[in-house]
């Protein structure tokens, strides 16, 4: 659409500026509010220095709420200044993937199994267990938690003494 500027007034709203453009188009006089941010930022910049009687070609698009936004402007030379899309770049997700969550669960079970192996060996043996003994019992607990061992009864002092100790 082609407009003829009648007047331009800019109001400072703190974090942004709002411009009211009174214009004539197709013989009708009307006005449009243009913000200094979003899709209208380039239009706002171009109209900041507009004088009464200046003519512009305006490109407008309907936004998500059903209102017409001015998104491009040219001064009749045919070089339309298109507005850039509003908003910031899409932030990267910080959520774990399913694989990362599964790996974290394995680590949690391993840590818990190690703690419980130390406790189990401390209660059931008279000597201080070695690191190898703790790791073997922890692996047994871990395999039980993940369903690789049938029953916890498989871990008896006799099996420990023959397998680990």
User: What does the pLDDT profile of the chain (165 residues) look like in tens digits?
Assistant: 888 888 888 888 888 888 888 888 888 888 888 878 776 778 888 888 888 888 888 888 888 888 788 888 887 554 444 444 555 566 777 888 899 999 999 999 999 999 999 999 988 888 888 999 999 999 998 988 888 866 656 555 555 555 544
Q: Contact at 8 Å (CB) between 71 and 58?
A: no
Does any domain span residue 36? yes
pTM, two decimals, is 0.43
What domain range includes position 36?
2-78
Does any domain span residue 14? yes
Q: Which of 28, 50, 78 is the last residue of a domain?
A: 78
Q: Which of 15, 43, 78 is the last residue of a domain?
A: 78
**How many domains is the chain built from?**
2
Does any domain span residue 155? yes
Does any domain span residue 83? no
Nearest 5 degrees, angle CA 67-CA 47-CA 85?
Answer: 50
């Amino acid at each position: 659409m082609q407009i003829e500027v009648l007047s331009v007034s800019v109001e400072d709203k703190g974090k942004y500026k709002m411009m009211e453009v009174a214009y004539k188009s197709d013989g009708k006089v009307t006005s449009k509010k243009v913000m200094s941010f979003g899709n209208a930022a380039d239009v706002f910049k171009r109209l900041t220095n507009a004088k009464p009687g200046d003519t512009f070609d305006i490109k407008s698009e309907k936004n998500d709420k059903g209102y017409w936004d001015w998104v491009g402007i040219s001064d009749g030379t045919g070089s339309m200044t298109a507005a850039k899309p509003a908003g910031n770049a899409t932030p990267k997700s910080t959520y774990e993937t399913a694989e990362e969550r599964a790996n974290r669960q394995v680590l949690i079970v391993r840590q818990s199994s190690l703690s419980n192996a130390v406790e189990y060996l401390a209660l059931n043996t008279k000597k201080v267990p070695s690191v190898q003994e703790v790791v073997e019992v922890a692996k047994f607990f871990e395999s039980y938690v993940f369903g690789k061992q049938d029953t916890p009864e498989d871990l008896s002092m006799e099996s420990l003494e023959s397998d680990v100790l």
